[in-house]
Structure 1
Amino acid sequence: MKKVILIGILSLGLFIAGCGDSGKDNAFEVPFDGKMEHVHGIGYAGKDKGLYFASHTGLKMYKDGQWLKTSKNHNDYMGFNAVDDGFYTSGHPGENTDLPNPIGIQRSTDGGKSLKQVDFEGETDFHVMAVGFFSHDIFLMNPAENSKLGQGFYRSNDKGESWEEAAGSGLEGDLLHLAIHPSDSNWIAAATSNGIYLSEDAGDRFELISVDGTGTSVYFDEENLYFASFTSRPEMTKYHLSDASKEKIELPELNEDGPVYIAKKPQDEKEFAIYTIKGQAFISKDGMKSWEQILDNGNVIK
């Protein structure tokens, strides 16, 4: 079963390359009622309080109980990371855009209406990338040599202006997900097919902190690391950075499924969201004591 789950995660597009219509009255955000496929990241991006889903065909948003999509810029967003003033992303251009393929690293501060180049346009699609929510420091795995970086792990402490290689020692297994602390970039976590790993020195050395099956997702807030894994069933854990203690989190009922993305609403300490291998999404507004389903096998729930 572990192998089946790992194949399911990979099929989401975490390691394979991804590859508009206009809204009424030229609105950028328009109602969405349909199926969302190949989500490559979720997060509460910027200050508009919405939960963003980065999909193969552009951004979808869940705001105030309503589903929306963008009327243009239907790019295949990979390596998506929400930050305090917007988001960072990689991936491939959609139709009717003038972006090169791949798009390298881009950022947006206006909800995806426009993208600003950070680096590596036309060179690299970064599938596994983490960006600090407040710091905007970047940690990534470069899949192949490009004009500036060799293959391997790299970090940037100046929003992508310059890069430094990170050793990444101790990591084993297929890398599925990375996370970086929102403000202290010494803390970096990785989910691999071997488990969950944690670094306290900006990604030079990693220590295995959970061996309970395949690690599927990692996420930091200021005081904790949240991680998900799968053995015979999915599990989610709250890991306290101050003392390394662990606390199990009750998940919604999931059948041969498990979280691959975790997000927390910065304006509300009790609101969390998860997205799963099978395209389900849930929101909790009481600190993960109960869950409301908003996406069922990729289909929006209204």
Structure 2
Amino acid sequence: MRRTLLVPTLIMTVFLASCGGAEPVSETIAPDTEENEAPTEQAPDRWEATKTGTTVSHIHGAGFWQDGRPVIATHTGLMEFREDGWYELSSNRHDYMGFELVADGFYASGHPAQDSPYENPLGVVRGTEKGETLEIRSLEGEADFHYMSVGYETESIYVYLEQATKELAPGFYRSLDGGVSFEPMKMDGIVGRGIAGISADASEPKRVFVYGPDGILVSDDGADTFEPFNDQGNIVTMATAKEKLAYITKQDASFELVVSDLTEETETSIDLPSMSADNVPIELVMEADRLLLATSDNSVYVFEDEGWTQLLKAGNVN
């Protein structure tokens, strides 16, 4: 901090006035003042460290937050992984379904917490501030989307509706306005093919993939018409990123992870982490060169720097 010494300055002014023959000139010296900067207010951290021994069940979505931390959607709300372990959001502890990250937040469906003002089911929810702020987009009290995929950059939403609402019959729908309204998808080209899931392209709003026991199909017109993308056999889960996609195939009791570069038209196999024989990959997320994998026994793994690290083992927080 810089201080202004006023006393020596005043003494010098008086001395010059007494020694000079001319009439003294009055000087007004404005003292410097220290800038009073308002202290920066830090937002309270509403994430609490998950207690050792906690059991995590029902992982219904996963991803990487905008700050790079892994996050999973569980039966009792959101959990993120930090350097010192798992943390859980103390508010909005909903049973999220179809949880999908986008560039500045996420979309989800599911069931509200018991003390929540929201109707059951949630319909389509958009979350920001890591889930601290929620906005109901549509179908509150009507729809619970277990099968929902959202483009990371585009926010195009593709869903399968299992139970009818007041206006929508069961079937495949898309929303190009962030979940405010939905229109049916024609789905031409899928007759005779099994569908296990749907995956929106990260950056092309009308590109969407469906996958299952007969490989992957792709549509470039918002899921009105599909054509084969590959015939790599039984696809159990897949993920998209900008100009990339990753998928896991199952053959007999073994799984294989493949990353496809859509620009270079190349495919690279990546060894999966060691899993028990009855464990199945259920969630796969891709961000640049990182991957996040959740399995049917509620284990979570992250792939980075060419290796896998287990973040959660069989749902048990250590």
Q: Which one is further off, 254-263 or 238-247?
A: 238-247
- In the alignment, which residue of structure 1 is the partner of 2:38? none
- In the alignment, which residue of structure 2 is the partner of 1:29? 47
For 1:261, give the aligned amino acid.
E
Measured after TM superposition, the shift of residue 90 of structure 1 is 0.1
For 2:203, give the aligned amino acid.
S
- In the alignment, which residue of structure 1 is the partner of 2:21? none
1:183 aligns with 2:215: no
For 1:251, give the aligned amino acid.
L
Structure 1 residues 294 and 177: CA distance shift in structure 2, 3 A = same
For 2:148, give the aligned amino acid.
M
Measured after TM superposition, the shift of residue 204 of structure 1 is 1.7
Q: Secondary structure at the match of 1:115?
A: strand
Hey, what's the Cα distance between the residues in 2 that align with 1:39 and 1:174?
24
Measured after TM superposition, the shift of residue 271 of structure 1 is 2.3
Q: Would the aligned equivalents of 2:138 and 2:181 in 1 still touch at CA under 8 Å?
A: no
Hey, what's the Cα distance between the residues in 1 that align with 2:160 and 2:222?
13
- In the alignment, which residue of structure 1 is the partner of 2:25? none
* Alignment partner of 1:275 out of 259, 274, 294: 294
1:168 aligns with 2:187: yes
Structure 1 residues 299 and 79: CA distance shift in structure 2, 3 A = same
Q: Would the aligned equivalents of 1:79 and 1:91 in 2 still touch at CA under 8 Å?
A: yes
For 1:158, give the aligned amino acid.
D
CA deviation vs aligned residue, 1:43-91 (integer Å, no higher than 9, x gap): 113x333211011111111133531011232211001101111110000
Hey, what's the Cα distance between the residues in 2 that align with 1:36 and 1:113?
20
- In the alignment, which residue of structure 2 is the partner of 1:264? 286
* Alignment partner of 1:61 out of 75, 80, 94: 80
Q: Gaps (5+ residues) in structure 1?
A: 1-25
Measured after TM superposition, the shift of residue 210 of structure 1 is 4.6
- In the alignment, which residue of structure 2 is the partner of 1:76? 95
Hey, what's the Cα distance between the residues in 2 that align with 1:95 and 1:226?
37
Hey, what's the Cα distance between the residues in 1 that align with 2:189 and 2:268?
24
Q: Secondary structure at the match of 2:130?
A: coil
- In the alignment, which residue of structure 1 is the partner of 2:60? 40
- In the alignment, which residue of structure 1 is the partner of 2:310? 293
Q: Secondary structure at the match of 1:111?
A: helix
Q: Which one is further off, 32-41 or 239-248?
A: 239-248
1:225 aligns with 2:242: no
Moved >6 Å (runs of 4+): none
Larger Rg: 2
Q: Would the aligned equivalents of 1:128 and 1:176 in 2 still touch at CA under 8 Å?
A: no
CA deviation vs aligned residue, 1:165-222 (integer Å, no higher than 9, x gap): 2112333565433211122023212233444332233212233445455322111111
Structure 1 residues 252 and 67: CA distance shift in structure 2, 3 A = same
Q: Secondary structure at the match of 1:161?
A: coil
Q: Would the aligned equivalents of 2:48 and 2:89 in 1 still touch at CA under 8 Å?
A: yes
- In the alignment, which residue of structure 2 is the partner of 1:14? none
**How high is the TM-score relative to the length of structure 2?**
0.78
Quick one: higher RCO (CA 8 Å, sep 6+), 1 or 2?
1
For 1:206, give the aligned amino acid.
F
Q: Would the aligned equivalents of 1:195 and 1:211 in 2 still touch at CA under 8 Å?
A: yes
In the TM superposition, what are the counterparts of 1:182-261 in structure 2 within 5 Å? 182-232=202-252, 233-242=254-263, 245-256=266-277, 257-261=279-283
Q: Which one is further off, 28-37 or 237-246?
A: 237-246
Q: Would the aligned equivalents of 2:156 and 2:206 in 1 still touch at CA under 8 Å?
A: no
For 2:139, give the aligned amino acid.
F
CA deviation vs aligned residue, 1:212-246 (integer Å, no higher than 9, x gap): 55322111111111111222211111223246543
Structure 1 residues 87 and 123: CA distance shift in structure 2, 3 A = same
In the TM superposition, what are the counterparts of 1:88-107 in structure 2 within 5 Å? 88-107=107-126
Measured after TM superposition, the shift of residue 100 of structure 1 is 0.6
For 2:276, give the aligned amino acid.
N
* Alignment partner of 2:158 out of 139, 148, 153: 139
Q: Would the aligned equivalents of 2:76 and 2:95 in 1 still touch at CA under 8 Å?
A: yes
CA deviation vs aligned residue, 1:71-126 (integer Å, no higher than 9, x gap): 23221100110111111000011221111111101011111123110100000100
